[in-house]
Chains A and B, each alone.
Chain A
Amino acid sequence: MAKRIDVSDLNVYYGAFKAVEGVTMTVEPRSVTAFIGPSGCGKSTFLRTLNRMHEVIPGGRVEGKVMLDDQDLYASGVDPVAVRRTVGMVFQRPNPFPTMSIYDNVAAGLKLNGLKGKKKLDDVVEKSLKGANLWNEVKDRLNKPGAGLSGGQQQRLCIARAIAVEPQVLLMDEPCSALDPISTLAIEDLIGELKSKYTIVIVTHNMQQAARVSDRTAFFNLAATGKPGQLVEVDDTQRIFNNPSVKATEDYISGRFG
């Protein structure tokens, strides 16, 4: 069920301001692709164009093409709501719905989209929580509020919530930046397991994390302050970290800027 993403010549705008320019890249299915780069380079902005979350921000718009297998996400007549069901997202800070129990948080996507039937929901909740490595920790308190979990558990709850609607792609926007090292490790392990089923794209500011979890890495950079961000290069993670083809990549990775 994982799908390939093909982006060609994508420009991203906030109103008149061009935030990201001319991105062309391919994200392979059943793999983890990491986006790295200095802050403000547009990597998160670009990530949000992959499930059309970017246009939620007033003035947000894109030019160019994003193909999910053979479907253009930005073709006219494509419903952004349907796109987001296919391409799930996990955010920087864990954001479980505060009014809902753990169970309802996981089931939220299905319930809000009209799925009924307790048996079916029970199955999905259990499967998703197991998939997010959270089942054993919460199975006895599914009716407690999701906000009562620790930060790392909340983030795994959000991952469970995202995979419960069975997306084909999972976008993660710095999913560990608000977490402690142990929780981070748990999430990273989880990412390793999830890639057998999903296409995963992760934005991270932590280069070691990119090196640990990803198969391919894309380096984004700003040409200059005030200029739009751009994709410098994308390649196998091994190559990016050991033998990048662009000087800027090497400088960034070796810590000379960023």
Chain B
Amino acid sequence: MATVTGVSVADEVPGPPERSPLSADGAGTRRLGDRLFGGAAQGAGILVIALVTLVGLFLLWQAVPALARNEAGFLTSREWTVSGDHPRFGIVELLWTTVVSSLIAMAIAVPVGVAVALFITQYAPRWLAKPAANLVDLLAAVPSIIYGLWGLRTFGPKYEPVQTFLQDKLGAFPLLSKTSVSGSGTVMFIGIVLAIMVLPIVTALSREVFAQTPVAHKEGALALGATRWEMIRTAVLPFGRPGVISASMLALGRALGETIAVTIIVSTLADQTVWSWSLFNGGETFASRIANNAQEFDSPQKAGAFIAAGLVLFILTFIVNAVARIVIERRKAFSE
């Protein structure tokens, strides 16, 4: 069991001796004050449920008429003609760009984020640990439009030669082949910028779980003569694995839905562009397609098509976040 979940240490360590926090004690009474206050609190909770439900329902309700008139396969088509009597639109290209750029971001952000979390919790000298954590958190505080601006005007030009180099040397691989897109507005580059943006998310949660590794297990490993790195591999990483997984899922959710930075950076493709699997192609994510056309929502049919795309994005992030939640819950179940 423990080998599957990676929380081998957690279920062997008894929790703190005190009573667990009595979440929701039974001290409420039928007094007016208690009923009003308790009712208001419960009402706020129900409002939150209602809000999320309404988001789903409203998007569905607005999307269905547009989908009904759509003459192309919504899940299979690359077309995007949303006005006129014969709307034809599909999301396959949006899906590809969204998912691939987010996966590139994960491939970079997870290892680096975990390493940074290990640095902060295990390697950094005491005086540096806290400032280091704050600095990485600062990355999360920078608004995404600034990432977009910086990516477009500053980072992009510096990255271009690297991309050209890769295309020249490795262009034989379909994933790295040359495309009609010149410049840095490629899926690959969005992935890199997204990686920087979600890095603090991976780091923050990972370092929290790493810091909770029981001292007894770390010392146990060290007492057996393990080096620090061996101690981390045998005690810290297995203990923190569920935390890293859920952190990655949360980061993935953020990357999938990131809008303005992607919108600013990515090169949109002209209609009828020849399809390419290359990561050096341009394209649009769900979010950037919606954002790029925000000023054109002038008819319910047009808006409906974009709302349908938004609905798919909502479902995608819903699934990813639900998985993250389940991983966290399972970890809780094992550590209590």
Contact = CB atoms under 8 A, between A and B. Distances in A.
Direct contact between A and B judged by beta carbons closer than 8 A = yes
A58 interface: yes
Interface string B2-41: 0000000000000000000010111101010000000000
Nearest to A77: B30
Cβ-closest 6 pairs across A and B: A56-B27, A56-B25, A58-B26, A56-B26, A55-B26, A81-B29
Interface size of A as a range:
under 10
Interface size of B as a range:
under 10
12 contacts: A55-B27, A56-B22, A56-B25, A56-B27, A57-B22, A57-B25, A57-B26, A58-B26, A79-B29, A80-B27, A80-B29, A81-B29
Contacts of B25: 56-58
Nearest to A52: B27
A60 interface: yes
Interface in A27-55: 55
Interface of A: 55-60, 79-81
Contacts of B31: 79, 81
Nearest to A53: B27
B195 to A, nearest CB: 43
A58 B22 contact: yes
Contacts of A56: 22, 25-27
A55 B26 CA distance: 6
Contacts of A80: 27, 29
Interface of B: 22, 24-27, 29, 31
Contacts of A81: 29, 31
Most buried by A among B22, B26, B29, B31: B26
A60 B29 contact: no
Nearest to A61: B26
A178 to B, nearest CB: 13
B244 to A, nearest CB: 33
B28 to A, nearest CB: 9
Given A57-B26, A60-B26, 18 more contacts: A55-B26, A55-B27, A56-B22, A56-B25, A56-B26, A56-B27, A57-B22, A57-B25, A58-B22, A58-B24, A58-B25, A58-B26, A59-B26, A79-B29, A79-B31, A80-B27, A80-B29, A81-B29
B27 to A, nearest CB: 4
Contacts of B24: 58
Contacts of A59: 26
A80 B24 CA distance: 17
Contacts of A60: 26
Nearest to A59: B26
A58 B24 CA distance: 7
Nearest to B23: A58
Nearest to B19: A57
Nearest to A84: B27
Contacts of B27: 55-56, 80
B34 to A, nearest CB: 9
A79 B24 CA distance: 19
A12 to B, nearest CB: 14
A194 to B, nearest CB: 26
A56 B24 CA distance: 9
A48 to B, nearest CB: 12
Nearest to A58: B26
Most buried by A among B24, B27, B31: B27
Contacts of B26: 55-60
A173 to B, nearest CB: 13
A45 B24 CA distance: 19
Nearest to A93: B18
A81 to B, nearest CB: 6
B200 to A, nearest CB: 32
Nearest to B18: A93
A55 B29 CA distance: 11
B18 to A, nearest CB: 10
A57 B19 CA distance: 11
A55 B31 CA distance: 16
A210 to B, nearest CB: 24
B302 to A, nearest CB: 53
A79 B29 CA distance: 8
